[in-house]
């Protein structure tokens, strides 16, 4: 296309819904062009248009007897077809699965969705190289500006990361003469506002501080100052497991790491906590190669009411999600064990077991695709992978303690 602005096409027979989508698109991509098309007048596409004219297409699942699924299949057969987000009825898993099979790059349930969630979905469909740069707020493009947060008794070294809910800093605890990580909730909500994010942030400290284990991050302090809540925790200069995997991990090292993570999970589960976001980036390394689980922002107590997530809401990272978590079902400690199975596979092969062009397609594979075979020289660990990544939770180790025992047997084989 000659224009550098994003071009979106919305195919839906409900004008109000097309307007809602267009509002969110133009709010995030200010210079974008949104074509709102009512297909009930005849063609599924505007007169004279071809799919390649657009950067992204939103396609409804049905209108006046016409099946959007058939249109989806037809569009995907055309040359240079852009990503398509298929709009489905809320909670209709059968249509979701069929859309992914037909080539949809992602699906959008036709129900209320927050702006940030919607933007994340669009960025994922576009691809990070096309969606993120234009969507980045102006004040976040220059990431080297000086952070303003200060904490008594601590010297600011640098900002490590910033997300929608929190910002993470590296600081020096001047009294203890040690470097620490300080995680700061950027805004404490007023009493009458929605408190979900703030409650999750405080819950993270509550969950972690109740656990004393060498493979769980150490928490040193928590507090509320002015309009900020903060957590002071252990710093890991050696980096995360993700970077370690890139350098290559031997089977014995992978088993040793798995044993440490299983031991940490056993301790976490014993106090009634599920992690729900296990991935290599949330496993940090000390200089002595011991590991620690971090980032309990998605954790939840197994026996606590009310639950902070709505029924059917999906949290976590699709590459490491259990089938039940990916489909918004009930999760228990066996879901964390599945995630460890994915991490173990990645440690052995440097590859994720399931990859696809969209988050929904990855989630579909977790629920339906066969577990990939390990290379021949690693095939002795296929049985352990198969147990940890079983589709049915009843076929997995039923506890982290049971998994730890299996791993110990594997370590004996390596010694």
User: Catalytic annotation on 277?
Assistant: yes
CA distances in angstroms from 166 to 156, 186, 273, 283, listed in the order given: 16, 5, 22, 19
Measured CA to CA, the distance from residue 233 to residue 378 in angstroms comes to 37
Cα torsion 210, 212, 214, 217: sign = positive
Strand 33-37 with 66-67, pairing: unpaired
**Could you give the CA distance from residue 296 to residue 316 in angstroms, rounded to a whole number?**
11
Non-local (6+) Cβ contacts of 166 within 8 A are: 183, 184, 185, 186, 201, 297
CB burial of 140-168 (b: ≥16 within 10 Å; e: otherwise) equals: eeeeeeeeebebeebebeebeeeeebbbb
Count of other CB atoms within 10 angstroms of residue 70: 11
Judge contact between 321 and 313, C-beta under 8 A: no
Q: Which of 60, 173, 256, 277 is catalytic?
A: 277
Distance between the two ends of the chain, CA-based, in angstroms?
60
Positions annotated as catalytic residues are 277
């Amino acid at each position: 296309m000659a224009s550098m602005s994003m071009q979106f096409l919305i195919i839906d027979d409900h004008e109000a819904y097309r307007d809602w989508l267009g509002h969110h698109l133009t709010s995030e991509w200010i210079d974008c062009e949104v074509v709102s098309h009512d297909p009930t007048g005849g063609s599924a596409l505007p007169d004279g248009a071809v799919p390649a004219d657009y950067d992204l297409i939103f396609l409804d699942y049905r209108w006046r007897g016409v099946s959007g699924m058939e249109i989806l299949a037809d569009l995907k057969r055309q040359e240079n077809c852009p990503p398509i987000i298929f709009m489905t009825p809320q909670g209709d898993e059968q249509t979701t699965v069929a859309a992914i099979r037909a080539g949809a790059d992602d699906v959008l349930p036709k129900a209320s969705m927050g702006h940030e969630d919607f933007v994340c979905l669009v960025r994922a469909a576009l691809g990070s190289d096309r969606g993120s740069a234009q969507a980045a707020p102006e004040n976040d493009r220059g990431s080297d500006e000086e952070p303003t947060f200060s904490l008594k008794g601590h010297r600011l070294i640098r900002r490590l990361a910033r997300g929608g809910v929190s910002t993470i800093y590296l600081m020096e605890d001047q009294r203890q003469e040690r470097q620490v990580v300080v995680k700061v909730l950027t805004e404490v909500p007023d009493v009458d506002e929605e408190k979900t994010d703030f409650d999750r942030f405080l819950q993270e400290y509550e969950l972690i501080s109740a656990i004393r284990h060498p493979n769980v991050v150490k928490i040193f302090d928590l507090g509320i100052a002015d309009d900020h809540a903060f957590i002071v925790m252990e710093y890991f200069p050696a980096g995360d497991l993700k970077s370690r995997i890139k350098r290559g991990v031997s089977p014995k090292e992978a088993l040793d790491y798995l044993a440490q993570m299983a031991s940490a999970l056993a301790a976490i589960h014993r106090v009634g906590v599920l992690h729900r976001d296990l991935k290599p980036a949330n496993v940090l390394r000390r200089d002595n190669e011991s590991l620690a689980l971090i980032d309990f922002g998605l954790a939840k107590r197994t026996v606590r009411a009310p639950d902070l997530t709505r029924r059917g809401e999906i949290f976590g990272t699709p590459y490491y999600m259990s089938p039940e978590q990916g489909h918004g079902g009930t999760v228990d400690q066996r879901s964390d064990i599945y995630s460890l199975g994915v991490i173990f596979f990645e440690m052995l092969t440097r590859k994720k077991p399931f990859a696809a062009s969209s988050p929904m397609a990855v989630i579909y594979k977790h629920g339906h695709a066969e577990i990939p075979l390990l290379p021949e020289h690693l095939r002795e660990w296929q049985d352990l992978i198969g147990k940890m990544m079983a589709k049915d939770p009843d076929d997995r180790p039923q506890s982290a303690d049971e998994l730890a025992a299996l791993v110990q047997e594997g370590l004996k084989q390596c010694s």
